[in-house]
Structure formats: structure tokens, C-alpha cells
Amino acid sequence: MSKRIIISGGGTGGHIFPAIAIANALKAKDPQTEILFVGANGRMEMEKVPQAGYPIFGLDIAGINRSNLLANLSFPAKLTKSLWAARKVIRDFKPDAAVGVGGYASGPLLLMAGMNGVPYLIQEQNSYAGITNKFLAQNARKICVAYPDMQAFFPTEKVVITGNPVRSDIGSVSASDPKVWEYFKGLSPDIPTLLVIGGSQGARTINESIDAGLEQLLASGYQIIWQTGKLYIDKARQRVSALHSNRIWVSDFINQMPYAYAAASVVISRAGALSISELCLVGKPSIFVPLPTAAEDHQTKNAMALVREEAGLLVKDAEAREKLIPTTLELFKSKEVQQSMGRQIQQLAKPQAAQQIAEEVWKLSQ
């Protein structure tokens, strides 16, 4: 009989794409596996999951607003409603196992899964566990992690180091593929390329720092692939247009990340778990600018795990406007440092993460 699995969570690409990778790995094990996603209404997963070919049910849940406490007055009602909706989904779908990848919907779904006797697995992507996952760990059967020493947060006997799942097409393209340069029209395969990615939502500090340093980067002989997110794209396009340079490709979102990684000589990125896992897989020398408002400052901890291995550089968000461009130019100057960092970061890659997690889910569902 085919297995029925619920995968819950989302909110950002950093949660959604690993969840889809796990679903694909489960389907590869047995094409008859029935998978239902549970996400948060109004969030990115409600669009991206159906695009990947999976059904999704939305809960009316949102996170705690730390900057505006009055905005949390509706939180208890939303949580209660989500718990009841999660219970109904579990009773209707009758899953053999559940998976939580983080994000707003993960909490209510896994809580109700545990209360209804459904075994569940947590996939903790960061090097510092959040409050929700620490709470849910009490009843989890397995906790799949990406970093060592996570026993500080979770029971040792439940922890399995799998790495973070990434999209199967990451690392599948080389810089010599003509499709890469057709996509990034105007750029040349013969010029060193800076890839700037702020995550699926963009990153204001990174954008402003790049904006201020465009002339320096161009004068130094480099070309730029600049992913801005939706909030900065209009300003970036005006700026690029005024420079009259064909060495800057700018967009709010890159639909072909394998091409972007293939083209890149050096990468500037936030330090979300998904970005780091993808950069490990493609072995690119990277400068990380951690998001300072990330819960428990987990992005700084993610980046520091690489810095300690000489597998990346870190520029603090508060210092980015002053230090990001000089740090980038310094890295571009040294091919040796680029190659060394590329080798070091690639050693941390876990290309079989999705398959390993699928295997653990499979065991739970027996």
C-alpha cells in the first residue's frame, strides 16, 4: 500500500525548496507515495509548491511580530484556528508520517501530528535551533540536522546529520554551457563575474552596498549578476540604466539558479541555510552578510561555521556599506584564495541530503 506523507512549513525559499527536494526524493523511492504539503496562507509556499506539482493546504497562521507587539493580539486566535485545521487535515488525510521543515505552519501541524499518534521528523536547517523546533523535539522520532554539535539543542539519540536538501539541478550546469550566457544576455564568459543574491526576498543592506560600489566594480574589470528582490528592483534598474554598461545583469528574481552559480566567480549572499548548502555544493568562494534580524541570530552562526573552516568570509550587516566592496575587490584579486575557499566550502557539501532524509521518513512510516 502506498505511503501518505505530510510535509509542513515554508515562509521563505530557504524552507520551501528543501521541502520540495524531500518530496521529490520520497517520490523517487516510490512513485505511488501520496504527499500533501501544509503551509501558511499568503506565504510563498502557496505559489511555489503547486508549481512543483504538489497539493498544499493553507493554515491561517503567522509568526510573532517582535517589532510591533500590538500586532500579536490576534496571534492566539490564529494559532487556535490553525491547530483545529491541522487536526482536521491529519484526520482526513491519515498520514503515515509527517515532516516539519520550519516556518509558521510547521508548529501547529507537528503538534497535532504528535497528539494524533502520527510519527514525525524535524528537519533543522540552521546551526542554531529555534524555539519551535526545540519544543517539538520532545515528541519527534528523528531530527535531521545540517551542522555538527546540534546535541546542544536536541536529544543525542534522535539526531541524524544529513545536511540540507537542495534542488536536484543545482550544480548540474557548467560555465562553458552556452545556455548560461544566453540567459545572462550581454555578459561575457571571459570576464570574472560577481553574483549578488539576497535570498528570495532580497536584502536592502546588500543592495545599497552594491549600488554604491558599482563604479568601483566595473572599473576593476568585473561584471555583475545582481538579484535585488522586488523592493529594490526599480531603483536598481534606474541606476544600471544610468551607467550605460552591458556588464551588469539585474533582476528581482533569478529563475535559473544553476546558471547563476555556473557563471559566478565570487558570490555575495545572506547566510540562510539553503543558500549555504547550495554554495557548498557548487564550491563557490563566498562573502556572507548575515541577516541581523534572523531568529536567535542564526545566520551569523551559520556563516561562522564556514568561516572557522576557512570556507567563507563574513561581513557584518552593520558594516556592509563600508566593508563589502573592499572585501569583494580583495577576494577577486587573489585566485589562490578563491580556489582555496572553493575547495574548503565544497568539502562541507552533502549532496545526498534529500535521499537520506527520505530514508528516515520512510522508516518512520513503516
CATH classification at residue 9:
3.40.50.2000
**Whole-structure pTM value:** 0.85
Same-domain status, 224 and 357? no
Domain contains 9: yes
Domain contains 196: yes
Residue 125: CA atoms inside 13 Å, Cβ hemisphere, count? Answer: 30
Residue 246 is part of which domain span?
178-346
Same-domain status, 156 and 260? no
Residue 63: which pLDDT band, with cuts at 50, 70 and 90? low
Same-domain status, 144 and 120? yes
Domain contains 357: yes
Same-domain status, 154 and 196? no
Domain contains 173: no
| Largest pairwise CA distance in the chain | 63
Same-domain status, 192 and 226? yes
Where is the binding site, in residues?
A: 12-14, 126, 167, 200, 254, 299
Which set of grid coordinates corresponds to residue 336?
589562490
The residue type of 169 is: D
Mean pLDDT for the stretch of residues 68-93: 80
What letter does residue 10 receive in the DSSP assignment?
A: -
Same-domain status, 33 and 158? yes
Number of domains within the chain: 2
Q: Which of 123, 167, 158 is nearest to 277 (CA)?
A: 167
Where is the binding site for UDP-N-acetyl-alpha-D-glucosamine, in residues?
A: 12-14, 126, 167, 200, 254, 299
For the chain, counts of helices (H) and of strands (E): 14, 13
Burial class (CB in 10 A: 0-12, 13-18, 19+), 263: buried
Same-domain status, 272 and 360? no
Using one digit for the tens of pLDDT, what is the confidence trace for 38-48?
Answer: 999 988 899 99
Phi (first) and psi of residue 29, to 5 degrees? -70, -45
Same-domain status, 196 and 156? no
Residue 363: which pLDDT band, with cuts at 50, 70 and 90? very high
Same-domain status, 107 and 245? no
